[in-house]
Chain A
Amino acid sequence: MIDLENVTKAYSTGNHALNGVSLHIDKGEFVFIVGDSGSGKSTLIKLLLKELEPTSGTIKVNGINLNKMKQRAIPKYRRKIGVVFQDFRLLKDRNVYENIAFAQRVVITPTKNIRKNVPAMLSLVGLAEKYKSYPKQLSGGEQQRVALARALVNKPNILLADEPTGNLDPKNSKEIMKLLETINERGTTVVVVTHNQEIVDQMKKRVIAMHRGVIISDERKAGYIQHAN
């Protein structure tokens, strides 16, 4: 489902955020990506969404080589992927309802379905009564949950979540993780970037650890691995 082969990403500053990363994730897997700040986790997510282009190496998702993908095909490709961005990236001028509805409009969903799906999604992430609020009226954790609702509303076959619980308290974090697990059980491939050691330890999933742009360990049913510099 997701295949990286010797992928390197150097930013224009010359910074090598990823350095020869090879990785394979199967359909239906639940994967944690851990690693200290600046190790290249978000860069990896951005490459998978084709927000960035790799400097070298190939990335294949759903059997499609992203390097060879035509510009015109990108929107369609992205619609199959749900993303929770580390910085949320909500539309500031639209309320919670519209932010989630927007993802549905993009895939041209009939209005009557949007009216059904959006409230259902909001109650799933526990934000049912805040649907009229604007992003700046929400706490970090609430914004994060809106971002998650938006990522999930179109029932993507891959979910990429960059720190989806970074601003949540332990109780909320656990609930969100449970939600992600449920979605995974229904067939969605889930990739979660996190710093939350406790949760990783509890969930016993595959854990990919990164350090300075390289994968330093990749273990099934693992706990959080602490690596000293």
Chain B
Amino acid sequence: MTSVKLGTYSMRISTIGYCLKQGLKNIWRNKMFSLASIATMSICIFLFGLFFCVVQNFQYMVKEVESGVSVTVFFDEDISQDEAAMKEIGAKIAAREEVEEAQFVSAEETWESYKDIYFAEAPHLAEGFANDNPLAKQAHYVIYPKDVEDQNSLVEYLESVEGIRRVNKSVEVANILTNFNLLVGYVSVAIIILLLCVSVFLISNTVTIGIAVRKEEIAIMKLIGATNSFVKAPFVVEGLLIGIIGGAIPLGLLYLLYTRLIRYMGGQFDNLAGLMQFLPVDQMFRTLLPVGLALGAGIGFFGSYLTIRKHLRV
């Protein structure tokens, strides 16, 4: 029993080994076309990876920015020094669904941070206001929406709330980033689809030529009892290998470039690094590597499989 199982197992291995070898041989014999296919595939996957990195990083940065987006609410004069009244309104706001957090900033705290910013160079000038907070009426709430997209509706609501004097929206940086991200996404999807078509076309051509050159051989194989799949397998392997090689090369290159970029950015622009948070290399390639390789292998497989089906009808 064991020996039978072992037998089938080794048979499979030897057949797979044979198909792999023949696939490699096909590529080698058809060097120019294989090379063209691998090159196109590499460019395609490289661009894919590039756009992937850009989009991923934008998404990452947008998230970072989003988490800082806030709306500031100031109160009507008659209650602007009545903390209890303000907190009552604040609690109402905090209870709303689109609100992540509502933070009360008292008049004293406001003055403190104002002082830190505007009188940092000359603290003695601020001393004059020591007992008379000039921002006594500026106690406010800082409200963080769960989602930047909710900001506008939130502002609309806040403006309608009784007792609120003024609503300050934060800069529209998040919106700009989101729009830009979408644009990059669309453009890259279009370019990648175009390149995918070119890749499939080239792989299909490579395999077609391989089949044409070996028409006689294929006929002989069939006459001595080779099944269709046995004849097809080396060509599928050829496409698959072209796809995998064409995926591995650009992914390796991207890895090097990305690592360098991050190191360069980190070293050259310390201040920028704080502003622009890049996605760490590991985190990026944890998704990019399998996606890129699968894309290459997938294109290679379908490009060759469909071609063979067309050309090797019995």
Contact = CB atoms under 8 A, between A and B. Distances in A.
Interface string B218-255: 00111111111010000000000000000000000000
Given A91-B217, A91-B220, A75 B227 contact: yes
A89 B17 CA distance: 25
Contacts of A90: 220
B168 interface: no
Contacts of A75: 222, 225-228, 230
B18 A105 contact: yes
Interface stretch (A8-16, A56-64, A107-115, A179-187): A107-115
18 contacts: A49-B223, A74-B222, A75-B222, A75-B226, A75-B228, A77-B225, A78-B225, A85-B223, A92-B216, A105-B230, A106-B224, A106-B225, A106-B227, A108-B15, A110-B7, A111-B10, A111-B14, A114-B14
Nearest to A114: B14
A89 B223 contact: yes
The 6 closest A-B pairs by CB, nearest first: A79-B225, A78-B225, A111-B14, A75-B227, A106-B226, A89-B220
Nearest to B220: A89
Interface in A51-106: 51, 71, 74-79, 83, 85, 89-93, 102-103, 105-106
A150 interface: yes
Contact of B10 (A85, A89, A110): A110
Contacts of A106: 221, 224-227, 230
Interface residues of A, number: 28
B237 to A, nearest CB: 14
Contacts of B11: 108-110
Given A71-B314, A92-B217, A93-B217, A105 B224 contact: no
Interface of A: 49, 51, 71, 74-79, 83, 85, 89-93, 102-103, 105-112, 114, 150
B254 to A, nearest CB: 37
Interface of B: 7, 10-11, 14-15, 17-18, 29, 216-217, 220-228, 230, 314
A143 B165 CA distance: 101
Given A89-B220, A91-B217, A107 B314 contact: no
B290 to A, nearest CB: 32
A54 B142 CA distance: 90
Nearest to A49: B223
A110 B226 CA distance: 16
A112 B223 CA distance: 25
A76 B225 contact: yes
A51 B223 CA distance: 7
A77 B18 CA distance: 23
B16 to A, nearest CB: 11
A148 to B, nearest CB: 13
